[in-house]
């Protein structure tokens, strides 16, 4: 097993119910023996055999692979963080926006230039009202015929992105929901970079804390295998979401090559509707996926201990189980009361179900 880094090990200790029993609290590697809050001792990675607890009051030594504990607890933490993002969106639906954009294919670029952007759509999550910015709309307002768009593309694209940044500047306090818009290839950074390439100056930038990648949130909530790939289209099929005007990657690339800018714009508008639809189903718990309970929560003693410490429902459940464990043996160990002196105990005849020595009642 690869050694743990000091930083990662200390991070694990801060987020788990486990604590040191040995003296080397600043060691860079895991200890041989750990104790949990319940008083049981846990042998950590690297133990060649079970050892007696360093603390004489501890009992029942168990071997647990702490890398699995850390992995399971990390999954719980990721899910908790994702749940918090979903809760933030749910509380601020009127101030939440869904964004998506279409662009030239960035996989086929051989000249090193960033892909051109064709349209951007932004939908208010609560009202459904949508703002859009597109090449063909800017061309129309600029008096540019469709056949001249290619020749004047940089000029029109710069105007379109300028309108987008004007809108962004007035909505910086909103929550922004997106799907995989997270790097320079495709994302907020890519739009900003493209505008700079066209000699534009972005007026504002969305705070990272207000950007919510729904695709990553769902992996944290449901596990990496919650649906097949491509995930968005597979979710649409499983949940009966219609694909009207929806273009997949290759279709978008072909539409750009054929200068079908209206078609690309309609696809972008459809995709913000789909993302909003999926997000709404996540919020109300109605989204259908292939995820199983284990995929979402995992099953590990370390996770159960962590939940018991951090969540009052699990703590209450654990307390109830503990009380039941004390009460049931107490009553089961008590003998039935003996009859008082001189009292006759009737025995039942199993065949007649009548007390022995007593005449059946007259019929």
More confident residue, 123 or 330: 123
Give domain status of residue 194, yes or no: yes
Instruction: Specify the 3-state DSSP secondary structure of 240.
Output: coil
| Same structural domain, 18 and 116 | no
| Same structural domain, 35 and 184 | no
Query: Would the pLDDT of 218 be above 70?
Result: yes
Give domain status of residue 335, yes or no: no
| Same structural domain, 250 and 125 | yes
Mean pLDDT for the stretch of residues 180-201: 95
Give domain status of residue 307, yes or no: no
pLDDT digits (tens, 9 = 90+) for 286-309: 999 999 877 766 555 555 555 555
Give domain status of residue 192, yes or no: yes
Q: Which of 107-121, 159-173, 263-277 has the lowest mean pLDDT?
A: 107-121
Q: Determine the pLDDT at residue 309.
A: 54
| Same structural domain, 194 and 105 | yes
Query: Would the pLDDT of 285 be above 80?
Result: yes
Mean pLDDT for the stretch of residues 91-115: 87
| Same structural domain, 228 and 252 | yes
| Same structural domain, 216 and 240 | yes
Q: Determine the pLDDT at residue 332.
A: 56
Task: For residues 24 and 279, give the distance between their C-alpha atoms in angstroms, rounded to a whole number.
Answer: 47
Highest mean pLDDT among 224-238, 245-259, 330-344: 224-238
Range of the domain at 274: 78-294
Mean pLDDT for the stretch of residues 192-220: 96
Q: Which residues pair with 59 in a beta bridge?
A: 40
Q: Determine the pLDDT at residue 98.
A: 98
Query: Would the pLDDT of 35 be above 90?
Result: no
Give domain status of residue 354, yes or no: no
Listed residues 278, 294, 310: the one ending a domain: 294
State how many domains the chain has.
2
Q: Determine the pLDDT at residue 275.
A: 98
| Same structural domain, 154 and 49 | no
Q: Which of 70-74, 129-133, 227-231 has the lowest mean pLDDT?
A: 70-74
**Cis before 305? omega within 30:** no
Give domain status of residue 98, yes or no: yes
Backbone angles phi, psi at 149, to 5 degrees: -60, -45
| Same structural domain, 39 and 181 | no
Q: Which residues pair with 338 in a beta bridge?
A: none
Q: What percent of the chain has pLDDT over 90?
A: 53
Q: Determine the pLDDT at residue 191.
A: 97
Task: For residues 120 and 269, give the distance between their C-alpha atoms in angstroms, rounded to a whole number.
Answer: 8
Q: Which of 5-19, 117-131, 163-177 has the lowest mean pLDDT?
A: 5-19
| Same structural domain, 91 and 49 | no
| Same structural domain, 147 and 275 | yes
Q: Which CATH number does the domain housing residue 286 bear?
A: 3.30.420
* Element (DSSP H or E) covering residue 42: strand 40-43
Listed residues 245, 264, 294: the one ending a domain: 294
Mean pLDDT for the stretch of residues 109-114: 76
The average confidence (pLDDT) of the chain is 77
Q: Determine the pLDDT at residue 343.
A: 53
Quick check: pTM over 0.75? Answer: no
More confident residue, 232 or 347: 232
| Same structural domain, 111 and 171 | yes
Q: Using the 8-state DSSP alphabet, how is residue 295 labeled?
A: H
Q: Determine the pLDDT at residue 114.
A: 87
Listed residues 258, 274, 294: the one ending a domain: 294
| Same structural domain, 168 and 234 | yes
Query: Would the pLDDT of 258 be above 50?
Result: yes
Give domain status of residue 38, yes or no: yes
Mean pLDDT for the stretch of residues 145-158: 96
More confident residue, 159 or 48: 159
Give domain status of residue 305, yes or no: no
H helix runs in the chain, sequence order? 6-14, 66-91, 135-141, 153-169, 188-197, 214-222, 231-239, 249-257, 261-284, 293-297, 301-310, 312-332
Give every CB contact of residue 301 below 8 A, 6+ residues apart in sequence.
Answer: 64, 69
CA distances from 163 to 120, 135, 159 (A): 10, 11, 6
Q: How would residue 9 be classed by pLDDT, with cut points 50, 70 and 90?
A: very low
Mean pLDDT for the stretch of residues 252-275: 94
Q: 245: alpha, beta or left, given left = phi > 0 and alpha = psi -120 to 50?
A: left
């Amino acid at each position: 097993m690869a050694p743990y880094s000091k930083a990662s090990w200390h991070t694990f200790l801060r987020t788990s119910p486990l604590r040191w029993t040995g003296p080397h609290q600043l060691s860079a590697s895991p200890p041989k023996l750990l104790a949990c809050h319940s008083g049981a001792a846990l042998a950590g990675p690297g133990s060649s055999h079970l050892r007696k607890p360093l603390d004489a009051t501890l009992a029942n030594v168990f071997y647990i692979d702490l890398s699995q504990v850390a992995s399971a607890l990390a999954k719980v933490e990721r899910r908790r963080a994702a749940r918090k993002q979903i809760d933030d969106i749910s509380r601020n639906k009127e101030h939440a926006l869904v964004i998506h954009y279409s662009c030239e294919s960035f996989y086929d670029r051989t000249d090193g230039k960033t892909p051109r952007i064709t349209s951007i759509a932004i939908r208010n999550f609560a009202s459904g009202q949508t703002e859009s910015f597109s090449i063909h709309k800017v061309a129309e307002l600029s008096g540019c015929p469709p056949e001249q768009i290619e020749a004047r593309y940089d000029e029109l694209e710069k105007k379109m992105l300028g309108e987008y940044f004007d809108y962004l500047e007035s909505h910086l306090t909103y929550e922004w929901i997106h799907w995989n818009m997270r790097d320079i290839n495709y994302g907020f950074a890519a739009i900003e970079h493209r505008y700079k390439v066209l000699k534009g100056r972005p007026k504002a930038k969305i705070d990272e804390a207000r950007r919510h990648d729904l695709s990553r949130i769902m992996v944290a909530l449901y596990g990496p295998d919650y649906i097949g790939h491509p995930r968005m289209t597979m979710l649409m099929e499983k949940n009966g979401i219609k694909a009207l005007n929806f273009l997949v990657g290759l279709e978008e690339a072909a539409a750009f090559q054929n200068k079908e800018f209206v078609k690309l714009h309609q696809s972008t508008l459809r995709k913000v509707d789909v993302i909003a639809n999926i997000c709404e189903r996540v919020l109300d718990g109605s989204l259908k996926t292939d995820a199983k309970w284990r995929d979402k929560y995992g099953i590990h003693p370390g996770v159960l201990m962590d939940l018991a410490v951090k969540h009052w429902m699990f703590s209450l459940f654990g307390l109830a189980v503990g009380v039941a464990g004390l009460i049931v043996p107490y009553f089961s160990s008590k003998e039935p009361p003996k009859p008082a002196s001189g009292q006759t105990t009737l025995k039942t005849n199993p065949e007649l179900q009548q007390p022995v020595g007593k005449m059946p009642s007259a019929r």
